[in-house]
Structure 1
Amino acid sequence: MAQVLELKFDTANGKTMTLSINEPKANLTATEIAAAMQTIMTADVFHNEGHGLVAINQARIVERNVSEFNLTQNR
Structure 2
Amino acid sequence: MSKRLELKFLNEENKTVTIALDQPVEPADPQLINQAMDEIISQNIFTTSGGDLVEKKGARIVERNVYEIML
TM-score, length-normalised on structure 1? 0.85
Percent identity, aligned pairs only, is 39
| Bigger fraction of residues in helix | 1
Structure 2 residue 10 is the aligned partner of structure 1 residue 32: no
TM-aligned CA deviation for residue 64 of structure 1: 0.9
Structure 1: gaps spanning 5 or more residues = none
User: Number of matched residues?
Assistant: 71
Shift of 1:42: 1.1
Contact between 2:12 and 2:50, CA under 8 Å: does it hold in 1?
A: no
TM-score by length of 2: 0.89
Q: Displacement, 1:41? A: 0.8
Specify the code of the residue in structure 2 equivalent to 1:35.
Answer: Q
Q: How does 1:1-75 map to 2 (within 5 A)?
A: 1-49=1-49, 51-69=51-69
